Each structure stands twice: as structure tokens, then as C-alpha cells.
Amino acid sequence: MGGFAANGYGEHSPAHYSLGAAFIAEIVLTGLLILTVLGATDITAPVGFAGVPIGLVLTLIHLVGIPVTNTSVNPARSIGPAIFVGGWAMSQLWLFVIAPLIGAALAAAVYMAIRQPEEVISARQAEQALTSQQEERERRRQRP
């Protein structure tokens, strides 16, 4: 009690998980979040729906991670409580900065490896396509 939900491992983990378990959990959970964000916000993803998969994955991550470390997956989320708690929270803060950075970097590398590149067209090509589409619609209207 009174720990401001600071992240921790060992005796400061809600279920007393070790340093190694906390480190792996933070890397994997952060990687999962970043993969979801990259996929949901990709240029090929449907516009306006990114919040749904991101929110669902973030919920899953917290359900899995809270017993392990109180779930960080974001260094900023870890720094604030650690500053207020001080002592043990500040001494364990390194893990909750380093592990998410590693997880994010790994997720970015995996995403770039599995992503199917989309052909990007210039603004001029897009404008010309629009003109040709308008002409096609006009031709269809003129047909009896």
C-alpha cells in the first residue's frame, strides 16, 4: 500500500516475480503494444479504427502484466510514480525504461520485416487518377 502503483520486481512485484521475469514481460508486452500500434496506424489500415485494436491490446497487456510488474510498457508511466515513491522504486526504474525501449525496437524491426510495402503515389498521380475517375463517371452517365 502507498506505492502509487510504482513498477517493481522481486518483493515489489504484486506477485513477487523475479527481475528476469519482469524484464522479459516488459519487453514482450511492450513489443505487442508497439506491433499493434504500427499495424493499426499503417497507411493500409482502415482509417478511424486504430483505437479499437490498440485499446483491446492495452487492456490485455494490463490484465497480464499487472501481477508481474504493475505494467509499465511506457517509461513515462514508470517515472512519475517512481519519483513520488523514491527509494526502491527509483533503484528499480532502470528496468522500466530499458525494457520498453528494447521491446519497442524489436517490435519495429519485426514490423518492418513482415510489413508488405504499399506503393506510394505522388500527389500529381492522385490528382490525375481523380480526373480519370471523374471522366469515367461522366461517360457512364451519358450512356443510355
Q: 8: which 3 cell numbers?
A: 517493481
Mean pLDDT is lowest, of 53-57, 97-101, 137-141, for 137-141
SS (H, E, C) 91-122: HHHHHHHHHHHHHHHHHHHHHHHHCCCCCCCC
Flag whether pLDDT at 2 surpasses 90: no
Flag whether pLDDT at 77 surpasses 90: yes
* Domains (range + CATH), the chain: 10-117 (1.20.1080.10)
The pLDDT assigned to 130 comes to: 72
Q: Residue 69's closest CA among 127, 111, 16, 144? A: 16
pLDDT tier, 144 (very low <50, low <70, confident <90, very high otherwise): low
Q: Summarize pLDDT for 30-72 with one digit per residue, the tens.
A: 999 999 999 999 888 888 899 999 999 999 999 999 999 999 9
The full DSSP string for the chain is --STT----GGGSTT---HHHHHHHHHHHHHHHHHHHHHHTSTTSPTT-THHHHHHHHHHHHHHHHHHHS--SSHHHHHHHHHHH-HHHHHHHHHHHHHHHHHHHHHHHHHHHH--PPPP--HHHHHHHHHHHHHHHHHHHH--
The pLDDT assigned to 101 comes to: 97
